[in-house]
Chain A
Amino acid sequence: MQNNYFHSVKFDKEQCKGCVTCIKFCPTEAIRIRGGKARIIQSRCIDCGECIRRCPHHAKRADTDTLTDIGKFNFNVALPAPALYSQFAPAVSREKIFAALHRLGFDAVYEVALAAEYVTLEIESYMKNRAVLKKPMISSACPAIIRLIQVRFPSLVGHIIPILPPVEVAATEARREFTRATGLAAETIGVWFLTPCPAKATNIRQPVDVTATDLSGAIGISSFYGEMKKILGAISEADIEKARASSYGIGWGYAGGEIRATGLVNSLIVHGVKEVADVLEQIEMSKMDDVDYVECLACPGGCIGGALLPENRFVAEKNLKLRVRRLRDREPAGRRQTILGGREIAPGNSAFRHKTIQPRPIMKLDDNIVVAMKKVGQIKQILAELPGIDCGACGSPTCASLAEDIVQGLAAETDCVFKLRQVVNALEEEMGKPFKNTRGEPYGSLDKTGE
């Protein structure tokens, strides 16, 4: 198990009650309850934030940067995710939102939505100019999905479109633009992504797609949301910076926005990490070879459903869609003329290409295939003796994963309460006084018929 992998999903031991909610929802079975507390298996975690969303005791949190971190730089640029706009009613103009960001300490704003328009054109041209495409191509926008593919669907890494996600393009463009505008040295400028999710925060310290990121850090939106709301209530309409992104860039904040922008009609829009896993399963079985493109997003509803957004996700969706529609009503031209104002960008710009994404499979039981085969046999034997009800009380998400943990030396058979009862019962019987429950029935029976 590798432990040197940085994760932004962190876990608060004090708050954890050792319930089984998180282990049940984790899409990569990356959590176990051991010694009454949850433990994240680092090599399996994809930072999707599902455990943060599900934990009833708020014991999981995202370790992102905060506003105090921007003090380290002379000049700070805020990169708001389109999803930030979803946290406010469409009547709150983006100019006002930018003014509030200035009040919070930023010196400039570069909309990730604007970079999304560059990415849109890159995707469109890639899809058009490729004679041989691995169909379907999969969107690279969601870092949790990239990681899900690496660990659970390694044969699909070649299907990920080799174009950087908007946030990375935004960082590069912002750093370039403000180095030029301020005359400051590039390294003295702080470039901060205002993030709706932990996965994007992880990607900065441990990028899967770029060799060196232009981002200085990621600040979780929930960490400054309260303060920002207060500021927005206090300031009148401000005009420090003009909003530049079109409705197509902003639409990337909800599921379907990327497809709407790129105009790729023979596409699927899939959101929610479990739903995405199901579709990736189908793609792996070659059952979707006639689809061109799949927009896959780990959060339900897309980025507006991110775990670091305080607003209800349906309200957020309404807010952002309404903002997009009102903006679209004021945009005179068609789709292609609206994106980046109809500007052409050189197709195949290498600055937008990501490095090759490597598979990071987690299923393998042993490096030695003969040993691994023996382990599969042992797991099968152990599993046959387990109750098969996947209660999670042992701390592993399913009976099958407990069997695997036992074979890997990470759990014991008596971690299963049913197995433990059998052992206790056998002991009691040996001592001549079988233990009965309050109804006078013997413990330890795996008889599920109730007779």
Chain B
Amino acid sequence: MCEPFMDLSFDLTAGDFERAGEASGKIKKTLQQIGVSADIVRRVAIGTYEGEMNVIIHSHGGTAKAHIYPEYTVVVLEDTGPGIADIELAVQEGYSTAPDYVRDLGFGAGMGLPNMKSCSDCFEIVSKAGEGTKITMRFAHKKA
């Protein structure tokens, strides 16, 4: 595998809703600058934002990383925290474990993981209860 042309990395702090969207916003801008088509940029931004929110809402903190290649982008969200006990259940639309205060903020509708899955060309989730979660999304820059 060749070296990524570009690596972007962001620290995500649990509960920091003020800065939510910063990672996805910066990744979005970079993809626009290198000329990735608008629809693909939009999908990457939405998928990354959902992932960012998940880390902020559910975990003890983590990172968002984008590895950008000329042909595709890989976004990796990694956190330490409770992990996901039942992944199959968690990727179902509408399933949510978000606490009430998060729902009051307008988040936690149970669409995060399903959205990330539908936005990306390739979606992988690895989680260990009590340790943390790692999500990898791959986006081709050109439609297949």
Q: Which of these, A285, A286, A364, contacts B33 with CB under 8 Å?
A: A364
Q: Which of these, A285, A361, A363, A375, contacts B45 with CB under 8 Å?
A: A285
Stretch at the interface among B10-18, B36-44, B75-83, B88-96: B36-44
A365-397 Cβ-contact flags toward B at 8 Å (1 or 0): 111011011011101000000000000000000
Whether B29 sits at the interface, judged by CB under 8 Å, is yes
Q: Which of these, A155, A286, A366, contacts B38 with CB under 8 Å?
A: A155
| B140 CB to nearest chain A CB (Å) | 13
Q: A284-B42, A284-B45, A369-B70 are in contact. Are A375 and B33 (CB under 8 A)?
A: yes
Q: A285-B46, A286-B46, A377-B6 are in contact. Are A364 and B70 (CB under 8 A)?
A: no
A333-365 Cβ-contact flags toward B at 8 Å (1 or 0): 000000000000000000000000001010111
| B105 CB to nearest chain A CB (Å) | 12
| B64 CB to nearest chain A CB (Å) | 15
Q: A155-B39, A285-B49 are in contact. Are A370 and B32 (CB under 8 A)?
A: no
**Measured CA separation A359–B37 after assembly (Å):** 10
> Are B70 and A363 touching (Cβ within 8 A)?
no
A-chain residues with CB within 8 Å of residue B35 when the two chains form the complex: 364-367, 369, 372
| B116 CB to nearest chain A CB (Å) | 12
> Are B30 and A376 touching (Cβ within 8 A)?
yes
B-chain residues with CB within 8 Å of residue A366 when the two chains form the complex: 34-35
> Are A372 and B38 touching (Cβ within 8 A)?
no
| Closest A residue to B70 using CB positions | A369
Tally of chain B residues near chain A (CB < 8 A): 22
Most A CB within 10 A of own CB, among B32, B45, B68: B32
Most A CB within 10 A of own CB, among B35, B39, B68, B70: B35
| Closest A residue to B68 using CB positions | A373
Whether A310 sits at the interface, judged by CB under 8 Å, is no
B-chain residues with CB within 8 Å of residue A367 when the two chains form the complex: 35
> Are B68 and A155 touching (Cβ within 8 A)?
no
Whether B101 sits at the interface, judged by CB under 8 Å, is no
Q: Which of these, B33, B46, B68, B141, contacts A363 with CB under 8 Å?
A: B33
B-chain residues with CB within 8 Å of residue A155 when the two chains form the complex: 38-39, 41-42
Q: Which of these, B33, B41, B49, contacts A376 with CB under 8 Å?
A: B33
Report A391-425 residues with CB < 8 Å from chain B CB. none
> Are A370 and B70 touching (Cβ within 8 A)?
yes
Whether A154 sits at the interface, judged by CB under 8 Å, is yes
Report B41-82 residues with CB < 8 Å from chain A CB. 41-42, 45-46, 49, 68, 70
| Closest A residue to B39 using CB positions | A155
Most B CB within 10 A of own CB, among A154, A365, A376, A379: A376
Query: Looking at chain A, what size class is its interface with the partner chain?
Result: 20 to 34
Report B106-122 residues with CB < 8 Å from chain A CB. 115
| A36 CB to nearest chain B CB (Å) | 29
A-chain residues with CB within 8 Å of residue B33 when the two chains form the complex: 363-365, 372, 375-376, 379
B-chain residues with CB within 8 Å of residue A370 when the two chains form the complex: 5, 70
A-chain residues with CB within 8 Å of residue B38 when the two chains form the complex: 153-155, 359, 361
| B29 CB to nearest chain A CB (Å) | 7
A-chain residues with CB within 8 Å of residue B41 when the two chains form the complex: 155
Most B CB within 10 A of own CB, among A154, A366, A373, A375: A373
| A268 CB to nearest chain B CB (Å) | 15
| A357 CB to nearest chain B CB (Å) | 13
**Measured CA separation A285–B115 after assembly (Å):** 11
Most B CB within 10 A of own CB, among A359, A363, A372: A363
**Measured CA separation A38–B49 after assembly (Å):** 37
B-chain residues with CB within 8 Å of residue A153 when the two chains form the complex: 38
Q: A364-B34, A365-B33, A367-B35 are in contact. Are A373 and B5 (CB under 8 A)?
A: yes
Report A267-295 residues with CB < 8 Å from chain B CB. 284-286
Q: Which of these, A154, A286, A373, contacts B6 with CB under 8 Å?
A: A373
Q: Which of these, B24, B34, B45, B46, contacts A369 with CB under 8 Å?
A: B34
| B132 CB to nearest chain A CB (Å) | 26
Q: Which of these, A361, A375, A379, contacts B32 with CB under 8 Å?
A: A361
Most B CB within 10 A of own CB, among A153, A285, A361, A365: A285
| A89 CB to nearest chain B CB (Å) | 44
A-chain residues with CB within 8 Å of residue B21 when the two chains form the complex: 285
B-chain residues with CB within 8 Å of residue A372 when the two chains form the complex: 33-35
Contact residues of B with A, CB < 8 Å? 5-6, 21, 24, 29-30, 32-36, 38-39, 41-42, 45-46, 49, 68, 70, 115, 141
Given contacts A363-B32, A369-B141, A376-B6, 10 further A-B contacts (CB under 8 A): A155-B38, A285-B45, A285-B46, A361-B38, A364-B35, A369-B70, A373-B34, A375-B33, A376-B34, A377-B6
10 nearest CB pairs, A to B: A155-B38, A363-B32, A364-B35, A154-B38, A372-B34, A155-B42, A373-B5, A369-B70, A365-B33, A373-B34
Contact residues of A with B, CB < 8 Å? 153-155, 284-286, 359, 361, 363-367, 369-370, 372-373, 375-377, 379
Contacts A/B (CB < 8 Å), 13 sampled: A155-B38, A155-B39, A284-B42, A286-B42, A363-B33, A364-B33, A365-B33, A366-B35, A369-B34, A372-B34, A373-B34, A373-B68, A376-B6
